[in-house]
Amino acid sequence: MMHSMFKAGAKRCLEEFSKCFSWLTLYGKNGTCTRRYSSQMWGIVIALCALLAASCGSPPSSPALPSGTPLPGATIITTPISSAGCGKPAQAPPGKSVYQTVFSGGLTRTYLLHIPLGYQASSSAALVLGFHGHGSQALQQEHRSGLSLLADQQGFIAVYPQGVVGPDGLTGWDTGAYNSPRVNDVLFISDLLNHLQDILCIDPLRIYATGFSNGGGMTNVLACTLAGRLAAFAPVSGSYPPYPGGCHPVRPVPLLEFHGTADRTVPYNGSASRRYPPILTWLQGWATRDGCTRGPTVFYKQADVTGLEWTNCRGNATVIQYRISGEGHLWPHVTFNKPGGTAGSSLSASALIWTFFQQHPLPATAPTG
């Protein structure tokens, strides 16, 4: 790795270093900036930079791990496991966000961790995974979604996994797209959950995933592959190319999706050249897998927002979409009327996602490890 990192003339590696060190600004719950780092934090950041440099500096002849193929002996845990972290002191100060690492698939992978204010190691908390888009990174996803501020208010743990650099030189996720990184990201998330449950007190029946764009696509992949371990899924403006091997969830999956009709990056009506299906076709695919017999029906109307739902599904699942007319490729800026709320009460997209997650824990009958 170090040999590749220091190869002469590796211009793009230097650019990746610059990007990497620009991530060093961390934020507390009130959005204030801090640049005081421990020696452990510097070690983590340097490891991240080394990983990025190695990703862009490896010679073309180096063999790449086939997409979706785990290393020999790698194990993906697909069912809930109990948390060994209950009773252990928190690994980071509550109310602040810190980068940490975990080893997976032969790589040192990075994630941004936000432990909420008021976290108690004796009480199990929900966990929300938030996936960034193509060419983005964990800190941007934290700011885009506002999930860490919501975590402090609602008491869940927010974690933002960091994707690695793909063949196009940009960060992303192994979703089956032509420019996907050649890593096993399902294994990464399994290993990450194992690690988090070893150091934190996490409720194994309340682990959820959301993400934006390519991160929404990764959320879809996890719904296909880890539905026995994650409870519910909420992609936003997601890209959903066909996943290698198909989508075969082990149970009916609760799914919430947001998409703008003016999205040019992931068009609402699909893109044959990018292998993106029409969004309604993709949603109907999930409704079919969930065994839903009703829908889509309109259950919500508000200015430019239309809510569609597929109901009467197996296992108390549901498929819901908020279609936003004229909205582009964005984390929704509009607010939504609170279900059952009084006139004038409203929720952000992230708050609506959290409300959905609270309604859909993993079934208690799911086997535990």
167: domain CATH number is: 3.40.50.1820
Residue 197 lies in a domain: yes
CA atoms within 13 A of residue 82's CA, in its CB half-sphere: 5
Of 267 and 364, the structure prediction assigns the larger pLDDT to 267
**Do 194 and 329 belong together in one domain?**
yes
Q: Tens digit of pLDDT for each residue in 181-194?
A: 999 999 999 999 99
Say which range, 28-37, 216-225, 333-342, has the weakest mean pLDDT. 28-37
Distance in angstroms (rounded) separating the CA atoms of residues 94 and 242: 39
**Do 23 and 86 belong together in one domain?**
no
Q: What is the CA radius of gyration of the chain?
A: 20
For the residues 37-44, what does the mean pLDDT come to?
44
pLDDT on residue 7: 39
Residue 367 lies in a domain: no
Hey, what are 188's tokens?
A: 């990464």
Q: Look-up: residue for tokens 């007190």?
A: 201
**Do 38 and 90 belong together in one domain?**
no
Hey, what are 343's tokens?
A: 């006139």
**Do 159 and 243 belong together in one domain?**
yes
Hey, what are 38's tokens?
A: 């421990």
Q: How confident is the model at residue 273 (pLDDT cuts 50, 70, 90)?
A: confident
Q: Tens digit of pLDDT for each residue in 103-146?
A: 999 999 999 999 999 999 999 999 999 999 999 999 999 999 99
Q: How confident is the model at residue 340 (pLDDT cuts 50, 70, 90)?
A: low
Is a pLDDT exceeding 60 seen at residue 303?
A: yes
Is a pLDDT exceeding 80 seen at residue 41?
A: no
**Do 228 and 286 belong together in one domain?**
yes
Is a pLDDT exceeding 80 seen at residue 49?
A: no
**Do 52 and 85 belong together in one domain?**
no
**Residues 6 or more apart from 3 whose CB is under 8 A from it?**
none
pLDDT on residue 32: 35
Residue 7 lies in a domain: yes
Hey, what are 232's tokens?
A: 């519910």
**Residues 6 or more apart from 42 whose CB is under 8 A from it?**
none
Measuring CA to CA, which residue among 87, 71, 145 is closest to residue 112? 145
Measuring CA to CA, which residue among 106, 169, 160 is closest to residue 137? 160
Number of domains in the chain: 2
Residue 71 lies in a domain: no
Residue 76 lies in a domain: no
Q: How confident is the model at residue 339 (pLDDT cuts 50, 70, 90)?
A: low
Residue 66 lies in a domain: no
**Do 225 and 101 belong together in one domain?**
yes
Cβ–Cβ under 8 Å, residues 119 and 112: no
**Do 147 and 281 belong together in one domain?**
yes
**Do 42 and 113 belong together in one domain?**
no
Q: How many CB atoms lie within 10 A of CB 98?
A: 18
Residue 72 lies in a domain: no
Distance in angstroms (rounded) separating the CA atoms of residues 261 and 280: 11
**Do 294 and 351 belong together in one domain?**
yes
pLDDT on residue 91: 83
**Do 259 and 217 belong together in one domain?**
yes
In which domain, by residue range, is 290 found?
A: 81-358
Residue 68 lies in a domain: no
| DSSP 8-class letter at 317 | -
* pTM (2 d.p.): 0.80
**Do 242 and 351 belong together in one domain?**
yes
